[in-house]
C-alpha cells in the first residue's frame, strides 16, 4: 500500500510544477477561492493571462508514477468513500459483474491502474461489515492486488454457485446491482448476467436485489481531496496544448486547414502519453464579405473554435476555446467579436452563481436561463459532469436540444465534491461583420464544493489572437 505521505508528496510535486511554468505558459495554476453560489451581484472576470510561451507544459508523470498515484487514490476511495456511499444509499451489498470486452461502466473505477479489462466473467462483491468496513471479494481464482481477495476455488464448485453461496452466507438486507432505465452509468449488468445471478441466488433472497443506479452514479462522480488537488493540473495540460494549436507554431494563414489543427491535437496528445476520449473539432466563422466561403483553410480574419479533451490519470477534461486570426494591420479582434465573447463570459458567471448543493440540473438550468434572458443574452446551456468519463456520471444541466430541462438525467441532484464541464454558448450580432449573428461557444471545467464552484485552471477571458 502506498503511504499517505508519499501520495501527498506527489500531489504537491504536481502542483509546484504547474505553478513553476505558470508564467511561461500563461496558465494561472493558483486555484481561486470557491465562489459562493448566491444569486447576488457577480464580480467581473479577471484580465486574461499573458500569451503562452510554446513548448512549456505542466509536468506529466510516467506511467509507472501514474500507477502509484492512481492506486493510492483507489485505496482511499474504497476504504473511505465507498462505505459512506453504500450506507447513504442503503445497500449492505453491492455486486458488479461484467465480462471481458463488455465491461460495466463502473468497472475501471473499481480496479487498479494496470487492470485494463475484465477477465472472462469478473465478479466484484462488496459487503458492509459494519465497524470492520467493506469486505471486498472477487469471485475468481486469484485476487486483484491488495484490493480484492479471491473467493472461489474452481476445483470445488463453479463460479456462479460460489457467488450464490457468498450471498447466502452474508444474507444482506439490500443487494445492489447496476441496473437503470435512466442512467447509462448505472446500467452495467447485462440481461444474460442478471438472469444467471437470479438463478444463483437463493429464492428467499431474490427480492432483496434492487437497482443501485444512485450508488453507481455517486461513486463515479465523487472526487476525493487528492483527486481535486490534481485535477486543475490535468486541465492546465489541456489548456497548454490548445495554446500551442492556436498559434503561428501550428497555424499558417492561407495554408493550414482545420483538419490540420485537429490532427495536431491528436498527435500532440499521443506524443505526451495522453489519450483523447473524443475526436477533437476545429471550426471557422467568417464575415459574409469573405471570398473564402466554406473553405476549411484558415485565413486572416477568421474566428476559430475548438473542442478538445484529454484523459490523464483516468480523469477526463473537456475544453472549448476561441481564437481570431488577425488581419494585416489589426492589433485586436473586431469590437463586436470582443463584445460577444464577453457575453459568453457573463453567462459563465451566471452559471456558477446558480450551482447549489441539492438542486437538480433542471432547476439550475431554469435559473441560469431566467437570469440570462433578463440580461438580454441569447443563451444556451448544456453542462455535464466530468471525471472517469468525459460525459460523466451525475446531473445534466441542459442539452443543446433540450433547453427546457432534461427528464431523468436532469432530475438528479447536484452533489458536492464533484467536477463539471461548464458548456454553453451565446449568440450576438457583430456590426463589423455586416450585423450577422455569431455564435460564441465556451467550455471550461470546474470543481464544485459545498461552498460553490471554482474554475479549474484559468478560464479564457479574451479571444486568443493569432498574428
Region 210-238 average pLDDT: 98
Region 427-437 average pLDDT: 97
Q: How far apart, in whole angstroms, are the C-alpha atoms of residue 335 and residue 342?
A: 10
* pLDDT of 2 above 80: no
Task: Indicate the CATH number for domain 89-211.
Answer: 3.40.350.10
How many secondary structure helices (H) and strands (E) does the chain include? Answer: 12, 17
Query: What is the rounded average pLDDT for all residues in the chain?
Result: 90
* pLDDT of 328 above 90: yes
What's the order of all strands across the beta sheet hosting 134-138?
A: 149-150, 134-138, 121-128, 93-99, 175-177, 209-211
* Cβ(347)–Cβ(372) below 8 Å: yes
For residue 231 the three cell numbers come to: 485535477
* pLDDT of 34 above 70: no
Domain ranges of the chain: 4-60+225-466, 89-211
Q: Over the stretch 293-310, which tens digit does the pLDDT of each residue have?
A: 999 999 999 999 999 999
Region 145-159 average pLDDT: 97
What pLDDT shows up at residue 26? 30
How many other C-beta atoms can be found within 10 angstroms of the C-beta atom of residue 76?
A: 17
pTM: 0.88
Q: How confident is the model at residue 17 (pLDDT cuts 50, 70, 90)?
A: very low
* pLDDT of 8 above 90: no
* pLDDT of 6 above 60: no
Which class for 302: exposed (0-12), middle (13-18), buried (19 or more C-beta within 10 A)?
buried
Residues 6+ apart with CB under 8 A from 344: 424, 425, 426, 440, 441, 442
What pLDDT shows up at residue 58? 84
Nearest to 343 by CA among 466, 438, 244: 438
Name the DSSP letter for residue 59.
Answer: -
* pLDDT of 242 above 70: yes
Q: How far apart, in whole angstroms, are the C-alpha atoms of residue 456 and residue 467?
A: 28
Domain 4-60+225-466, architecture per CATH: Alpha-Beta Complex (3.90)
Amino acid at each position: 500500500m502506498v503511504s499517505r505521505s508519499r501520495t501527498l508528496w506527489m500531489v504537491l510535486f504536481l502542483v509546484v510544477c504547474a505553478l513553476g511554468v505558470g508564467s511561461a505558459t500563461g496558465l494561472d495554476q493558483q486555484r481561486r477561492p470557491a465562489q459562493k453560489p448566491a444569486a447576488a451581484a457577480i464580480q467581473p472576470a479577471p484580465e486574461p493571462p499573458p500569451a503562452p510561451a510554446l513548448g512549456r507544459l505542466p509536468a506529466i508523470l510516467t506511467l509507472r508514477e501514474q500507477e502509484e498515484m492512481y492506486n493510492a487514490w483507489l485505496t482511499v476511495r474504497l476504504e473511505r468513500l465507498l462505505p459512506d456511499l453504500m450506507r447513504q444509499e442503503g445497500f449492505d451489498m453491492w455486486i458488479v459483474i461484467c465480462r471481458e470486452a463488455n465491461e460495466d461502466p463502473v468497472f475501471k473505477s473499481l480496479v487498479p491502474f494496470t487492470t485494463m479489462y475484465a477477465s472472462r466473467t469478473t465478479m466484484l462483491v462488496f459487503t458492509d461489515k459494519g465497524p470492520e468496513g467493506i469486505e471486498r471479494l472477487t469471485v475468481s481464482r486469484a485476487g486483484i492486488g491488495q484490493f480484492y481477495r479471491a473467493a472461489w476455488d474452481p476445483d470445488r464448485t463453479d463460479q456462479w454457485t460460489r457467488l450464490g453461496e457468498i450471498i447466502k452466507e452474508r444474507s444482506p438486507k439490500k443487494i445492489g446491482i447496476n441496473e437503470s432505465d435512466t442512467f447509462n452509468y448505472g446500467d452495467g449488468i447485462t440481461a444474460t448476467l442478471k438472469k444467471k445471478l437470479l438463478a444463483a441466488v437463493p429464492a428467499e433472497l431474490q427480492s432483496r436485489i434492487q437497482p443501485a443506479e444512485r450508488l453507481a452514479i455517486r461513486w463515479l462522480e465523487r472526487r476525493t481531496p487528492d483527486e481535486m488537488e490534481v485535477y486543475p493540473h490535468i486541465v492546465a495540460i489541456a489548456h497548454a496544448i490548445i495554446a500551442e494549436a492556436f498559434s503561428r507554431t501550428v497555424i499558417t494563414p492561407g495554408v493550414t486547414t482545420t483538419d490540420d489543427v485537429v490532427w495536431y491535437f491528436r498527435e500532440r496528445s499521443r506524443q505526451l502519453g495522453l489519450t483523447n476520449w473524443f475526436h477533437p473539432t476545429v471550426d471557422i466563422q467568417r464575415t459574409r464579405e469573405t471570398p473564402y466561403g466554406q473553405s476549411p483553410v484558415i485565413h486572416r480574419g477568421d474566428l476559430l473554435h475548438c473542442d478538445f479533451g484529454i484523459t490523464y490519470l483516468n480523469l477526463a477534461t473537456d475544453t472549448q476555446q476561441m481564437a481570431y486570426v488577425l488581419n494585416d494591420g489589426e492589433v485586436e479582434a473586431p469590437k463586436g467579436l470582443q463584445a460577444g465573447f464577453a457575453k459568453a463570459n457573463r453567462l459563465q458567471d451566471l452559471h456558477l452563481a446558480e450551482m447549489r448543493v441539492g438542486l437538480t440540473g433542471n432547476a439550475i438550468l431554469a435559473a441560469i436561463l431566467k437570469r440570462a434572458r433578463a440580461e438580454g443574452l441569447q443563451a444556451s446551456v448544456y453542462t455535464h459532469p466530468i471525471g472517469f468519463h468525459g460525459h460523466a456520471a451525475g446531473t445534466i444541466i441542459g442539452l443543446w436540444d433540450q433547453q427546457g430541462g432534461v427528464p431523468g438525467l436532469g432530475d438528479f441532484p447536484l452533489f458536492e465534491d464533484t467536477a463539471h464541464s461548464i458548456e454553453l454558448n451565446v449568440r450576438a450580432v457583430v456590426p463589423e461583420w455586416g450585423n450577422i449573428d455569431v455564435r460564441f461557444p465556451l467550455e471550461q471545467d470546474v470543481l464544485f464544493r459545498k461552498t460553490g464552484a471554482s474554475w479549474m485552471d484559468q478560464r479564457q477571458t479574451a479571444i486568443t489572437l493569432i498574428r
